[in-house]
Structure 1
Amino acid sequence: MRLESLFSSTDSSRSYIIDNSTTTWREAQSFCRQYHTDLISVRNQTDNQLIHNIINDTEASVWIGLFSDEWEWEWSDNNDSAFRNWRSGQPNKIGDSEDCTEVRMNDQGQWNDAPCSDSNTFVCHEDELILIHKNRSWTEAVRYCRENHVDLVSVDSEKIQRWVKAAVHEASTAEVWLGLRHSCSVGIWFWVNGEIACYQNWAPGNETAVDDCEREVRSGAVQSGGDHLWISLPESKQLNFICTRKDK
């Protein structure tokens, strides 16, 4: 019987799922990908401390998503985080078979390379939002999200805006598409989820589009830097975009 515990972040769309059963690294990876998003990628000391704080067993070793392809270490979910918290002398790849990474609770959460065939508990992560590093028009972004995930993100609350802010800092474009569009016929902005844009975070002068109705349809994007305000842009502009992974 599997026993899972769920811990949510207040500042991002990421949740963490601890599975208290023990299994190999590959089986843990497969389980996380099937039922959640992937094995956890540890992006910084805050993430690492979170694992240390939420694991009750001080003698446990816990799989994370870092593995070795020969001598290159990479994350299972393709995260590009360079953060590492190895124990002194690690990784040492004894016998050239220690290709997976465990967090040891009795070593203050430091990491050890271990054979992937060992059995450990593990931590999955689950993201409600995903930043897509592809440049697409607004319409193409909607199609991509609906075919591969759920939809372009609708930022209908301050909470979702915080999640978006956490997601866009890795974008490769100055703005990132949201699921926001302007209707010239009725003069309103609306979300792809069908809601009128009541919660708003516009940069000054961007929320009105009366003068643009004779030209190309305008859609909403968020700044990937600065104050992460919303910008009105022609829908043909090629930008990164954010999809939702789960229905509300």
Structure 2
Amino acid sequence: MAQSLYFSLLLIALCSISECVQHQYYYINVNKNWTEAQRYCREKYTDLATVDNMNDMIQLNKIVNNVRVWIGLQETRVYNWHWSSGDPALFLNWASGQPVGNDECTFMRNEQWIVGPCKNTCFFICYNMSPGLVFVNQTMNWRDAQSYCRQNHIDLVSVRNQNESQQLEKFIDDRNSSGSAVWIGLFRDTWQWSDQSSSSFRYWKTSEPNNYAGPENCTVIERNAQGRWSDYLCHHQFPFVCHEDKLIVIQQNLSWSEALRYCRQNHVDLVSVQSVEMQRRVMNVVKLASTEAVWLGLHNYCSMNMWLWVSGDILCYQNWAPGNTTHSSTPENCKMENRRGAVQSGGDYCWISLPESHRLNFICTN
């Protein structure tokens, strides 16, 4: 019993110190228009900078130093739905007839999702690691609510499936007896990252984007604005920031052991996915694969009835497909088949357990 408790505490400690992998950014102190900057980054690195979260913004602010610079966000005129947290918008629970009009932010009322003007003021729901959901009994517009959640918790709440939707409905009903509108983290916009990333992180200045000088379709980190963003006409010439992707899809069909050997000989290792941010980056690159699933650096350690990354890390973050194994439910035949972990290259991009001998594409870290 004491040994089991010690092992559980060790897992908690290891997960708590796990680091998020960030983009590698490069400040290019040459003035170019947005299209020229994009071409330069694609030739020399991966692309113009993509920003996934506040950790990325902190890194960018360290190298930009109050200079106006291009990043990779561009206006497309095509609306897409996103969660503020960056989770993909795979589950939606609109009220009948919704969404309607051109409003961009989502609130809940009477257990239904409704789109409304982001400038309206509502109560809102943040989420945190502990205690989880947080009902904020203050009214703010959507963007101020987003900033409040990011500063005091993690972000505005996301809803990824029917079960989470029902939990959120009960949570709101227990704390919002008046039935008032409550902001959630779902929004839509017409902006897309140059590298086609699914990142929904936005860090606009107040009143931006605004097309002040016409069709301002490109984005800068504004100077003297704590790293916040403005839209600009794309022909202006500014320095810019590129990023280099740490992940690469190898379009060869190899067994898991062969893929591991290939990555270690030619790159660094098979990829470990230790956070939501890394899962999103895997989702962005795995679309390039030619097989229905792609090997990860995930292997089953049968004697301990658990899964481990090839880096030696345990599974702090998990994204198993329904019916697939987790660290507490190893298949009975895993010793014979040498089960390994892969990620689906479409659909929900969940992890699946496969025999080591299957031949798949794979993802290496650079």
TM-score interval, normalised by the smaller of the two chains = 0.5 to 0.7
Q: How many residues align?
A: 196
Q: What residue in structure 2 maps to residue 220 of structure 1? A: 340
Q: What residue in structure 1 maps to residue 32 of structure 2? A: 23
Q: Secondary structure at the match of 2:269?
A: coil
Q: What residue in structure 1 maps to residue 216 of structure 2? A: 98
Q: Pick from 251, 269, 277: which aligns with 1:154? A: 269
Q: Does 2:278 match 1:167?
A: yes
Q: What residue in structure 1 maps to residue 98 of structure 2? A: none
Instruction: Give the CA deviation at 1:40.
Output: 0.9
Q: Which amino acid aligns with 2:194?
A: S
Distance 1:77 1:20 in 2: 21
Q: Which runs of 5+ in 1 are unaligned?
A: 1-9, 183-196, 213-217, 225-229
Cα RMSD over matched residues? 4.4
Q: Which amino acid aligns with 2:340?
A: G
Instruction: Give the CA deviation at 1:88.
Output: 1.9
Q: What residue in structure 2 maps to residue 68 of structure 1? A: 75
Q: Secondary structure at the match of 2:55?
A: helix
* Contact 1:101–1:111 (CA under 8 A) maintained in structure 2: yes
Instruction: Give the CA deviation at 1:18.
Output: 0.9
Q: 1:232 to 1:99 in 2, by over 3 A?
A: closer
Q: What residue in structure 2 maps to residue 55 of structure 1? A: 64
Q: What residue in structure 2 maps to residue 121 of structure 1? A: 239
Q: Which amino acid aligns with 1:83?
A: F
Distance 1:211 1:219 in 2: 8
* Contact 1:138–1:235 (CA under 8 A) maintained in structure 2: no
Q: What do the CA deviations read for 1:102-146 (whole angstroms, capped 9, x no partner)?
A: 0112111111111111111111111221479x9x97669x89xx9
Q: 1:235 to 1:153 in 2, by over 3 A?
A: farther
* Contact 1:103–1:110 (CA under 8 A) maintained in structure 2: yes
Distance 2:311 2:205 in 1: 50
Instruction: Give the CA deviation at 1:11.
Output: 3.3
Q: Which amino acid aligns with 1:234?
A: P
Q: Does 2:316 match 1:211?
A: no
Instruction: Give the CA deviation at 1:50.
Output: 2.1
TM-score w.r.t. the length of structure 2 is 0.43
Q: Which amino acid aligns with 1:91?
A: P
Identical aligned residues as a percent: 32
Distance 1:178 1:89 in 2: 42
Q: Which amino acid aligns with 1:121?
A: P
Q: What residue in structure 2 maps to residue 78 of structure 1? A: 196
Q: Does 2:46 match 1:37?
A: yes
* Contact 1:129–1:163 (CA under 8 A) maintained in structure 2: no
